[in-house]
Structure 1
Amino acid sequence: MEAGTVAEALPGNVSGDVVDSLPGRSLKTRTSEARKSAERGRKRETFGRFKLKQLKQAVRHETECLTAATGRVRDYLARHRCTALDRALYAIGDGHGNAAAISVVRVGFPKKSDATGCEKVEEVQGSGDLKPLGAAALGLAGFSFSGHHYDSRIDKRTLVIAEAETVAGHLDVGTLDALAEVSVWFPRL
């Protein structure tokens, strides 16, 4: 994505007003503290643990899962009815032009075993996907999720999937992985 386009789409990412809520702490400590914040639904605090701030968000609640799935994941959903699909997309940045997008997808099922089965199919790279909301939902273009910075978990009868990807500048691999790891703990969107 071109820098000018990102700056226009995410104007709050060039102000430099991000506060480090854990100065001098390691990524492991930041991740642990961010998970606690995420579990409480405190997104601002969660991102602040990584010296980042939320710039934009888009959330969509749906009941149709097949249209949002591809490959073997779609095949699985054709045999195992989903009860709800919630997708969220967050743009976050450090206030110095470095930005990432985080996708969180929650798929509800009638039984926990259905959610677990879907997770087993979805976590295999190249098996298909539960598509994140498109970048256009945040006014961004020119990036897609690679699946390299990914985490998932089962929350009762719900499969929760999170992915993170750089959209501008540079965020290190460890931070992107940690962002996905903590974002799966956000409560219902």
Structure 2
Amino acid sequence: MAAAATAVIVAMSGSGVIGGGTASVGSGSGSASKAGGKDAARKGQHSNAFRQLKLKNIRKKVQRELHCARHSFGQVQQFFLSNPCRELDRMLLAAGDEQGNEIAVSIAWVRMPRVSGATEFQSLVDVDGTGNVSPLGSAVLGLAKIEFTGRYYDSRRDGALVVVAEATPIGGRPSEELLHDVADVADEFPAP
């Protein structure tokens, strides 16, 4: 098996101006929109899930890895050194709305050998300041440097699989509610 297999670059719409930004104002997505987004996400419908949040999926990049420790940091990396994962898939998405607000979303699917390891990993990664799986570099989408802070974060566990999603503003001024909703919807996507 190859140590890293790269798959899928999809351009779904025009790119617009992408740069640094802060989240402070903008419209939220609403709970009905978020519920519709989560339903679409569970079906693997990336564009439809973001459309429910009034966003367009601009582009995405997916990578499959076999070594979680190599692609993580902090205490999470230390955990993986003694508890290797079975598989790691990472995705970086960029989505925007008609008001010029743009958001980057990092999603990691970590499959552990056993449910107990997945439970332990999720308990660790959900604690602020313990590290995380490293997101794909912003250059894979042609973006300026992106900083994920953990502020807009969500995770879920399904058996031995843990999905970690994080959102950050990269343009305009998307609302905090929207950023939280994006992370909440993104962790519902099935592994690629």
Is the pair's TM-score, using the shorter chain for normalization, greater than 0.5?
yes
CA distance, structure 1, for counterparts of residue 187 and residue 159 of structure 2: 13
In the alignment, residue 151 of structure 1 is paired with which amino acid? D
Contact 1:13 / 1:95 at 8 angstroms: preserved in 2? no
CA distance, structure 2, for counterparts of residue 11 and residue 34 of structure 1: 22
Task: Find 1:170's aligned residue among 165, 169, 173.
Answer: 173
Task: Find 2:151's aligned residue among 144, 148, 151.
Answer: 148
CA distance, structure 2, for counterparts of residue 86 and residue 113 of structure 1: 20
Task: Find 1:32's aligned residue among 35, 50, 61.
Answer: 35
CA distance, structure 2, for counterparts of residue 95 and residue 135 of structure 1: 22
* Higher RCO (Cα < 8 Å, 6 or more apart): 2
Q: Which structure's residues are more often helix, by fraction?
A: 1
SS in 1 for 2:147: coil
Deviation at 1:12, TM superposition (A): 3.5
Unaligned segments of structure 2, at least 5 residues? 1-12, 18-27
The answer for the alignment partner of 1:42 in structure 2 is: 45
In the alignment, residue 97 of structure 1 is paired with which amino acid? G
SS in 1 for 2:79: helix
The answer for the alignment partner of 1:184 in structure 2 is: 187
Q: Does 1:87 align with 2:90?
A: yes
* 1:94-153 deviation per Cα after TM superposition (whole angstroms, max 9, x unaligned): 134221001110111110110110111111111111111111111111321111000001
Runs of 4+ in 1 over 4 A off after TM superposition: none
TM-score by length of 2: 0.84
Q: Which structure's residues are more often strand, by fraction?
A: 2
Unaligned segments of structure 1, at least 5 residues? 1-9, 15-24
SS in 2 for 1:174: helix
Deviation at 1:26, TM superposition (A): 6.1
Q: 1:26 to 1:95 in 2, by over 3 A?
A: closer
CA distance, structure 2, for counterparts of residue 54 and residue 33 of structure 1: 16
The answer for the alignment partner of 1:121 in structure 2 is: 124
CA distance, structure 2, for counterparts of residue 83 and residue 75 of structure 1: 16
CA distance, structure 2, for counterparts of residue 116 and residue 64 of structure 1: 19
TM-score by length of 1: 0.85
Contact 1:107 / 1:160 at 8 angstroms: preserved in 2? yes
Contact 1:57 / 1:91 at 8 angstroms: preserved in 2? yes
In the alignment, residue 31 of structure 1 is paired with which amino acid? K
The alignment of Structure 1 onto Structure 2 pairs a total of residues equal to: 170
Q: Does 1:108 align with 2:140?
A: no
SS in 1 for 2:15: helix
Q: Does 1:135 align with 2:133?
A: no
